[in-house]
Homo-oligomer: A and B are copies of this chain.
Amino acid sequence: MAILNPNFRRLPAQYLFREIERRVAERVASDPSLGSRLLRAGIGDVTEPLPPACVAALHAGADELSRHETFRGYGPYTGHPFVREAIVAGEYAGLGIDPSEVFLSDGSKGDVGHALEVFAEGNRVGIADPVYPVYVDTNVLSGRTGPLGADGFFEGLFPLRANAANGFVPEPPDRPLDLVYLCFPNNPTGAMIDRAGLERWVRWAIAHDATILYDGAYADYVGDPALPRTIYEIPEARRCAMEFRSFSKSAGFTGLRCGWTVCPQALEGRLPSGERTQVHPMWTRRWSTRSNGVSWPVQRAAAAVYSPEGRAQVRALIELYRGNAQRLRHGAESMGLRAWGGMHAPYVWVSCPPGLDSWTTFDRLLDRAAVVVTPGVGFGPSGEGFVRISAFNSRANVEEIVRRLATTDLTR
């Protein structure tokens, strides 16, 4: 009989956002009026329409598929060159990244999991805490951890604790690790690392021969040119980092699906035999064996992000969401709560009122303000005592959320 992967049993029963949806549906079922008042600031899903430049490119792509002369079937497994070249020109100019090092995909969530396919079991893995749950969950499902420990962390994963004391930016640890997941601007805390901090991580990785898996899904929210938009602004990072990027939170592609990874030619690991070798040929082979590339109209839309109109339209979206984030942060602070993030990220990280845990705060905000947030503990044990508020919303909704926060008492 087929033997099933036992690691599925290690994970808590519900993926975070499924559990949120379950609680919301349960409340709406018992109080139908709640449905109409509900304002969602939970899951990080964009709310504004696609940039018109991307819509025009989708239409053009659809038309191309309608005619013999312009029909496209299978494309290159890792994306059409014109898209990869546009990404290099738009994101990595002057940083020594070649289009052959850019791998187009249907989104960053998938890529984060796929990355483990080129790494063997037995690596010492460091993961920030709290963090986007997919890093931990994909390590668990692929059998790279032991059971969940009493500290809320899986055996075999080394937590890099982020907390108010370190400004939610963990420093490199004193011990060696082989793979380290970092995410800046951070999901969920909204924290951003500065250049000196990122240089310390890169130096540490080179010194310990570690690979950094750098999630830059929110890079477009970096509003200060002194802050690093990509890890490759630190030149040595080409020797020690893969970067995950996405159009989801910049151009609003959450429903359209497109992202990319950078796997530099200079990145090496070693085989169990001890032989040092490049990661790039394996990552290339991974794509030719596992994928037939990204939908043609979507690739057209992705390239349109880098047209002059596309850039301006994306910039306007980012400004809207960043403005939302700043209002939400002030709104949370107006309740007397401590709040972080929201400056270079679309997320505000809010300390729960004294004595309340993440899910209780979630439930009270849902019941008393009809506002859906995300419980911080869903991002790891160090997220307990916080909630994440997402800035992906219309300005009108954000202003209404801020009004409700100002008049909601969570403490009784």
Contact = CB atoms under 8 A, between A and B. Distances in A.
Interface of A: 1-6, 8-9, 11, 15, 17-18, 43, 45-50, 52, 55, 58-59, 61-63, 65-68, 71-75, 106-107, 109-110, 113, 117-120, 122-123, 134, 137-138, 141-142, 178-179, 208-211, 252, 254-257, 269-273, 276-277, 279, 281-282, 285-286, 288-298, 394
A197 to B, nearest CB: 22
Nearest to A281: B8
A229 to B, nearest CB: 23
A75 B256 CA distance: 10
Contact of A4 (B257, B282, B288, B292): B282
A291 B108 CA distance: 9
Given A255-B75, A256-B295, A289-B137, A120 B1 contact: no
Contacts of A179: 2
Contact of A270 (B1, B71, B209, B290): B1
Given A1-B209, A285-B11, A48 B71 contact: yes
Given A3-B269, A73-B255, 12 more contacts: A1-B178, A1-B276, A2-B211, A3-B178, A9-B271, A45-B73, A47-B71, A49-B65, A50-B62, A62-B62, A62-B297, A134-B289
A65 B257 CA distance: 12
A112 to B, nearest CB: 9
Contacts of A49: 65-68, 71
Given A15-B288, A109-B290, A72 B255 contact: yes
User: Which 6 pairs, one residue from A and one from B, show the smallest C-beta to C-beta distance?
Assistant: A1-B209, A58-B62, A73-B254, A45-B73, A2-B269, A2-B211
B257 A294 contact: yes
A257 B295 contact: yes
Contact of A109 (B52, B286, B291, B298): B291
B9 A138 contact: no
A155 to B, nearest CB: 18
A152 B254 CA distance: 44
Contacts of A18: 288
Nearest to A125: B2
5 contacts: A1-B178, A1-B269, A1-B276, A11-B285, A58-B62
Contacts of A119: 2-5
Chain B CB within 10 Å — which of A50, A281, A292 has the most? A292
A328 B372 CA distance: 60
Nearest to A59: B62
A307 B295 CA distance: 22
Given A3-B122, A271-B9, A255 B59 contact: no
Nearest to A7: B120
A279 B233 CA distance: 45
B297 A297 contact: yes
Contact of A297 (B58, B123, B271): B58
Contacts of A297: 58, 62, 256, 297
A400 B142 CA distance: 50
B65 A255 contact: yes
A3 B113 contact: no
Nearest to A179: B2
A101 to B, nearest CB: 17
A286 B5 CA distance: 11
Nearest to A291: B110
Given A49-B68, A62-B62, A73-B45, A257 B3 contact: no
Contacts of A62: 50, 55, 58-59, 62, 297
B48 A4 contact: no
Nearest to A66: B55
A276 to B, nearest CB: 8
A302 to B, nearest CB: 11
Contacts of A137: 289
A280 B43 CA distance: 25
